[in-house]
Chains A and B, each alone.
Chain A
Amino acid sequence: MIQFFHVHKNYLDGVPALTDVTLTIEKGEFVFITGPSGAGKSTLLNIIFGSEEPTDGHILIEGRNYLKIPPRELPALRRRIGFIFQDFKLINTKTVFENVALSLKVMGVGPSEARKRVLKALSYVRLQHRANFKPLSLSGGEQQRVAVARALVKEPAILLADEPTGNLDPDMAIEMMELFKEVNSRGTTVIVATHDKGMIEKLSKRTVTLASGRLLIPH
């Protein structure tokens, strides 16, 4: 369970990105975060991921005070979170396979098991045939799917997806969402930030709307 209590976030230049956000996401839930560009969706996901700190407020994750978690425990926490970044954050000098495998390497998974799991994850996103390509030789949509595979391969407890369908054609977007639903049905909490209204309507899941950093429809 992820709980936000009166969370505020102002970036260094004073721009308020989140204002008084109070929100509960249950374990195993599937939630869309939506709102116009600049509403604070990415900021919300980054705070859950621990790469941004809130300026004010409290956060509980699985009952633990998130802001009191010592930095050295952050890696262990992140291994349980799969994050599909808006800008993918792939390593361009490594192949698709190596990019996805890195997710398992940092967890100490052995090479042969890692190989099996990476190939399976690549088949989920239909990229087996691109395993030995470098990211820059792939299309935007293909790169995005590599990012999806890298997030899913570790079978995370929490999946954070920041515009995961932004670069995909409608059919592939639907396929990705089906994939997220399947992961969710196996117990992973899924939080998707998107402004794809069609997608939100099709899946009829809980939707949280942000506007200028404030929650529009609480809970």
Chain B
Amino acid sequence: MPSGFSSFSLYYALTDALGNLRDNLVTSLLSALTVAFSLAIFTVFLVVFVNLNNIAATWGERTHVVAYVKEGIKTGPSGTAGWPSGTAGGPPGAANWTEALKKTVEATPGVKDVTFISKEGALAALRAELKGHEGVLEGVAPDILPASFEIILDPSYVNPDGVRSVVERLRAIDGIFAVEYGAEWVERFSSFMRFMEIFTFVIGAFLAAATLFIISNTIRLTVYARRHEIEVMRYLGASGAFIKVPFLVEGMASGVMGGALSLGILFLGRYAAGRHIPQYFIFIIENPFPLWKLSGGLMMAGLLLGGAGSLVSLGRFLKV
């Protein structure tokens, strides 16, 4: 620490900063409001992004992967198809064999849940779908449709690469002859989410830059208004830190105020939006964070923005 920067100096820095805030109440409030709106806008995008991501996880459960079971594998140990490795010796019964195949499918990485649909089940489902036109199925053998496994993926695998890796593994399993999945939908949703991610990041960077610019200019105005005072302090032997710290504290205090204000703006905004956005769509702007995390995060972000804005300004306009 530079000489002359005693424990009292911090006390003076804080009281000076508070005095400055009081003297420049209007400008301080203006920078606080800038921080508040920037943080609020960014938070809205973040909230929408997080909520979309969360529902992506639930939608993932609807991303069915269907694995069809080979015909004629119930032929016992002499059959060419055989049965999944790990099955205990001896001719397995059909039920046993299905059970073993299901276990193998369940053990595949990325698979969260498996439901077995028997041939009869498949036909019944088709019949239900054709309700009113069941005649079409007249005379059809009950085993015309293949048995299958309906597979629900682990949410972390609901992306093109994830799905592809699971499908590859499923195809490699003996006893599975085909695997179907909604490839296109997964691709589309996943690239949409990537776009949202980049978009949120760009918005954040843009708002941060704009906020830094405005805060640094506010501090610059304060520095300019007090240039005479700063000159006198230098003549009295004030260290660079003694002169700069109050401006830094002033910037950080505006930032924290801005963070707190943004919380208010967000809740007011949520209330107002609630009256105009259709009910089924409201989840998209619902706060997904615990309140303490949201408010703490906003104030911390304000503090950092305010501090950084002051530093930019002090570095450029206050050569000490």
Contact = CB atoms under 8 A, between A and B. Distances in A.
Interface of A: 49, 51, 72, 75-81, 83, 85, 89-91, 93-94, 102-103, 105-111, 150
Contacts of B228: 91
Contacts of A76: 2-4, 237
Interface size class of B (residues with CB under 8 A): 20 to 34
A105 B9 CA distance: 7
B236 A78 contact: yes
A82 to B, nearest CB: 9
B314 to A, nearest CB: 16
Contacts of A111: 8, 11
A203 B169 CA distance: 104
B5 interface: yes
B25 to A, nearest CB: 15
Contact of A77 (B233, B237, B238): B237
Nearest to A150: B236
22 contacts: A49-B235, A72-B2, A75-B2, A75-B234, A75-B238, A75-B240, A76-B3, A76-B4, A79-B4, A80-B237, A90-B232, A94-B229, A102-B236, A105-B8, A106-B4, A106-B242, A107-B237, A108-B5, A109-B6, A110-B6, A111-B8, A111-B11
A191 B220 CA distance: 37
Residue of B6, B233, B235, B238 contacting most chain A CB atoms (<10 Å): B235
Nearest to A91: B229
B239 interface: yes
A102 B237 CA distance: 10
Contact of B236 (A93, A94, A106, A110): A106
B interface secondary structure, majority: helix
Closest 7 CB pairs of A and B: A108-B6, A79-B237, A78-B237, A106-B238, A75-B237, A110-B8, A75-B239
Interface string B200-242: 0000000000000000000000000000110111111111101
Contacts of B2: 72, 75-76
A81 B236 CA distance: 8
Contacts of A75: 2, 4, 234, 237-240
Contact of B233 (A72, A80, A106, A109): A106
B12 interface: yes
Contact of A103 (B231, B236, B242): B236
Contacts of A80: 237
Nearest to B1: A108
A85 B236 CA distance: 11
Contact of B237 (A72, A85, A106): A106
B235 A78 contact: yes
Given A91-B229, A91-B232, A93-B229, A106 B239 contact: yes
A74 to B, nearest CB: 8
A108 B235 contact: no
Nearest to B230: A91
